[in-house]
């Protein structure tokens, strides 16, 4: 509670300014000085404001992110970082023709694990993005020379599906989502934990997102973007001015986005604290109004679709909590190089391989070579670097 409320107090004012910018744009475009920003306006006007301020739109960038190129670049990046190879398998039994399977191999050709992709929407499919640990890595027996069961990880997304004459094109946000989920996938695929209960992302709940959140940073680097992008028709690289404008837009509406996460975290904590209010939808709407000034539609029932309430159980704050460690770990790559194999090897050894076979705080400390702190995190979200939460 002190973490969530303390951080809300530091960014609330800036988040309200973000929303005020959207409201001013709405008033300008509608020629209505009394217009108010509504919850369903935010995404639309956020995109319009991004175009106005940075001359950048997510849809224009989509032309430069055909999924096959994104996947090829991702494999190249992780091959360099973690000294592995990815090999597509054919004839592997799967539940749908769209599902693809890859073996993850070490440099000598030995199979470490398997990863699977179920990337495109279809009827009755899960609608979010996630990674599942289908087979946890583990020792087969208690013997010192026990064979290790190769883990199997599955990524589920709903990216645009390629069809006759069309390729699958991702916007930059979807590329970031892919990297986030790929971080979870590597947590599963590169584990060496002895026990299934400590394998892969079976870590403390408020650390589980840190490895994937850290790897999102790669898609905001000029050199990395060149590995991930090319025009789907011409093969030309993304124009320099588009790259520059996209990077300038990185923190667009960031304060509001973080405040929204914190409102969700506070809501999750409060309804699990004791006896929840009878009308949880009305209670959620009141929190949104109090902290953002946004009045939700009277009959809105957002909690009915808030899937993370089930399973997280007062743990949704972990998304922001783990981001502290994610950004702190990223600071080492930022300093030593995004494709630095030595840094990648240390990250693999201390963060990805161990699972929860050691205390998570010790893993981060060993990777960083120091006690973790929140300075990089506070800087990234626009809070004074010296302040403490």
d(CA 46, CA 16): 14
Contact 156, 185 (CB under 8 A): no
Q: Can you tell me which residue has the tokens 């837009």?
A: 249
pLDDT at residue 57, as a whole number: 84
CB atoms within 10 A of CB 21: 19
Q: How far is CA 48 from the centre of its chain?
A: 24
Instruction: Give residue-wise pLDDT tens across range 260-302.
Output: 999 999 999 999 998 889 999 999 999 999 999 999 998 999 9
Q: Is the pLDDT of residue 385 over 60?
A: no
Q: Is the pLDDT of residue 387 over 60?
A: no
Three-state DSSP at 116 gives strand
pLDDT at residue 389, as a whole number: 46
Instruction: Give residue-wise pLDDT tens across range 174-217.
Output: 999 999 999 999 999 999 999 999 999 999 999 999 999 999 99
Contact 376, 328 (CB under 8 A): yes
- Name the more confident of 60 and 372: 372
Q: What are the residues facing 117 on neighbouring strands?
A: 100, 155
Which one of the listed residues 12, 63, 174, 181 is annotated catalytic?
A: 181
Instruction: Give residue-wise pLDDT tens across range 66-123.
Output: 999 999 999 999 999 999 999 999 999 999 999 999 999 998 999 999 999 999 999 9
Q: Is 174 a catalytic residue?
A: no
Global confidence as pTM = 0.90
- Nearest Cα neighbor of 5 from 329, 322, 267 is 267
Helices assigned H by DSSP within the chain:
2-30, 42-54, 58-62, 67-82, 172-189, 210-215, 222-228, 240-248, 254-273, 280-292, 309-312, 318-336, 341-347, 360-368, 375-380
Please spell the DSSP secondary structure of 213-280, one letter per residue.
HHHGGGGGSHHHHHHH---TTT-PPPPHHHHHHHHHGGGTTHHHHHHHHHHHHHHHHHHHHSSPPS-H
CB atoms within 10 A of CB 259: 22
Q: Is the pLDDT of residue 333 over 70?
A: yes
Which residues have a Cβ under 8 Å from the Cβ of 297 and sit 6 or more positions away?
38, 39, 40
Residue 130, CB-side half-sphere exposure with 13 Å CA sphere: 11
d(CA 118, CA 159): 10
- Look up residue 298 and give its DSSP letter: T
Beta strand 152-156 with 100-106 is: unpaired
- Look up residue 348 and give its DSSP letter: I
Mean per-residue pLDDT over the chain, rounded: 93
Instruction: Give residue-wise pLDDT tens across range 16-52.
Output: 999 999 999 999 999 999 999 999 999 999 999 999 9
Q: Is the pLDDT of residue 219 over 70?
A: yes
Q: What are the residues facing 73 on neighbouring strands?
A: none
Beta strand 100-106 with 84-89 is: antiparallel
């Amino acid at each position: 509670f002190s973490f969530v409320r303390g951080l809300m107090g530091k960014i609330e004012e800036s988040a309200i300014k973000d929303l005020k910018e959207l409201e001013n744009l709405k008033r300008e475009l509608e020629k209505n000085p009394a217009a108010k920003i509504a919850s369903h306006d935010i995404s639309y006007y956020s995109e319009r404001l991004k175009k106005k301020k940075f001359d950048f739109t997510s849809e224009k960038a989509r032309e430069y992110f055909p999924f096959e190129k994104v996947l090829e670049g991702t494999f190249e990046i992780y091959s360099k970082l973690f000294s592995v190879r990815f090999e597509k398998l054919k004839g592997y039994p799967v539940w749908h023709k769209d599902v693809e399977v890859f073996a993850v191999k070490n440099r000598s050709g030995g199979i470490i694990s398997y990863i699977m992709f179920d990337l495109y929407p279809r009827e009755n499919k899960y609608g979010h993005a996630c990674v599942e640990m289908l087979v946890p890595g583990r020792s087969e027996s208690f013997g010192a020379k026990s064979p290790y069961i190769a883990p199997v990880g599955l990524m589920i997304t709903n990216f645009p599906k390629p069809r006759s004459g069309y390729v699958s094109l991702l916007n930059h946000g979807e590329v970031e989502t892919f990297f986030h989920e790929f971080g979870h996938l590597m947590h599963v695929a590169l584990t060496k934990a002895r026990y299934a209960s400590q394998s892969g992302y079976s870590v403390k709940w408020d650390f589980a997102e840190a490895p994937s959140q850290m790897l999102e940073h790669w898609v905001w680097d000029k050199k990395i973007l060149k590995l991930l992008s090319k025009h789907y028709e011409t093969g030309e690289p993304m124009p320099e001015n588009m790259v520059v404008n996209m990077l300038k837009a990185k923190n667009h509406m960031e304060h509001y986005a973080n405040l929204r996460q914190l409102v969700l975290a506070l809501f999750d904590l409060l309804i699990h604290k004791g006896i929840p209010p009878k009308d949880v939808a009305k209670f959620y709407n009141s929190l949104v109004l109090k902290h953002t000034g946004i009045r939700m539609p009277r009959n809105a029932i957002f909690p009915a679709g808030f899937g993370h309430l089930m399973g997280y159980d007062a743990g949704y704050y972990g998304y922001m909590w783990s981001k502290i460690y994610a950004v702190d770990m990223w600071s080492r790559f930022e300093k030593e190089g995004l494709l630095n194999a030595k840094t990648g090897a240390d990250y693999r050894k201390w963060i990805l391989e161990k699972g929860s076979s050691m205390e998570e705080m010790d893993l981060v400390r060993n990777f960083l070579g120091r006690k973790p702190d929140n300075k990089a995190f506070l800087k990234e979200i626009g809070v004074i670097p010296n302040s403490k939460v």
